[in-house]
């Protein structure tokens, strides 16, 4: 694929708590330069980033319930609605991990239904973050089954703030148990073009990383471009 097509795999992330406005400015310009699919930010940064990318095809997405997922459904709904009203083009939300670990599958499923329904109403793609590093294989499989029922646009491996990030094994498991219509996003610890190449081969359709520039530059070098 050409470089522009490759760049559309990337949700370019700046989610650290201490990011300054000057860092956000540089980050937005980097996203525009490489023509990434989306800038992934916390909700407070959505409006600023939308102003920066105005007139470009680069989208802005909000991370909801980030990074722990330990908010009420009502809180996540408010945060999602507010982010969309402020210009967020896509939503990535963290499941209630504690509820899942406690066997409260009905709560986790209801949360997913409510958030997916709101995003459908607002015509906004939604990604469900599993945070696989804390889950058993059975729990990951159960989340895939919920997703098959509820139909979010994407299921996603990780926040990047857990004990580990995306793994090939997790991507393969998610691709095995999730319906083909549900896309997979890998995020967390993705640093090299080799990482990305393997993840795409395993079925990933979106990559969340803060190492976007380095990875795209390495892809260009492989193609003999500068």
Pairing of β 90-94 and β 126-129: parallel
Torsion (CA) 33, 39, 43, 44 in degrees, nearest 10: -20
pLDDT value for 223:
87
What are 167-216's pLDDT values in tens digits? 999 999 999 999 999 999 999 999 999 999 999 999 999 999 999 999 99
| Section 9-21 average pLDDT | 98
| Section 132-161 average pLDDT | 98
Do 206 and 196 meet the contact criterion of CB atoms below 8 Å apart?
Answer: no
The class (CATH top level) of 3-222 is alpha beta
Ranges of H-type helices in the chain:
3-7, 21-34, 46-53, 73-85, 97-101, 105-121, 137-150, 168-177, 193-201, 212-222
Do 36 and 13 meet the contact criterion of CB atoms below 8 Å apart?
Answer: no
Helix, strand or coil, per DSSP, at residue 8: coil
Bond preceding residue 67 cis, omega within 30 of 0: yes
What are 21-73's pLDDT values in tens digits? 999 999 999 999 999 999 999 999 999 999 999 999 999 999 999 999 999 99
In the numeric block, the tokens 């393969």 are attached to 172
pLDDT value for 17:
96
Helix, strand or coil, per DSSP, at residue 159: coil
User: Residues with catalytic annotation?
Assistant: 92, 156, 185
Pairing of β 206-209 and β 183-187: parallel
Q: Mean of the per-residue pLDDT values for the chain?
A: 97
What are 93-145's pLDDT values in tens digits? 999 999 999 999 999 999 999 999 999 999 999 999 999 999 999 999 999 99
pLDDT value for 111:
98
pLDDT value for 225:
86
pLDDT value for 8:
98
Domain ranges of the chain: 3-222
């Amino acid at each position: 694929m050409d470089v522009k097509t490759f760049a559309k795999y990337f949700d370019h992330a700046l989610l650290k708590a201490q990011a300054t406005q000057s860092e956000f400015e540089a980050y937005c310009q980097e996203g525009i330069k490489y023509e990434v699919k989306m800038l992934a930010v916390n909700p407070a940064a959505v409006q600023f980033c939308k102003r920066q990318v105005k007139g470009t095809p680069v989208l802005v997405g909000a991370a909801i319930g980030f990074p722990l997922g330990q908010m009420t459904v009502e809180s996540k709904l408010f945060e999602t609605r507010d982010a969309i009203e402020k210009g967020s083009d896509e939503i990535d939300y963290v499941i209630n991990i504690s509820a899942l670990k406690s066997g409260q599958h009905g709560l986790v499923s209801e949360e997913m239904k409510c958030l997916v329904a709101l995003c459908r109403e607002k015509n906004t793609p939604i990604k469900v973050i599993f945070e696989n590093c804390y889950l058993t294989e059975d729990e990951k499989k159960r989340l895939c089954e919920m997703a098959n029922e509820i139909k979010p646009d994407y299921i996603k491996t990780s926040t990047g703030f857990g004990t580990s990030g995306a793994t090939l094994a997790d991507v393969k498991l998610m691709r095995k148990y999730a319906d083909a219509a549900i896309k997979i996003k890998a995020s967390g610890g993705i640093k090299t073009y080799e990482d990305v190449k393997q993840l795409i081969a395993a079925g990933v359709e979106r990559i969340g990383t803060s190492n976007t520039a380095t990875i795209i530059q390495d892809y260009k070098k492989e193609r003999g471009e500068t």
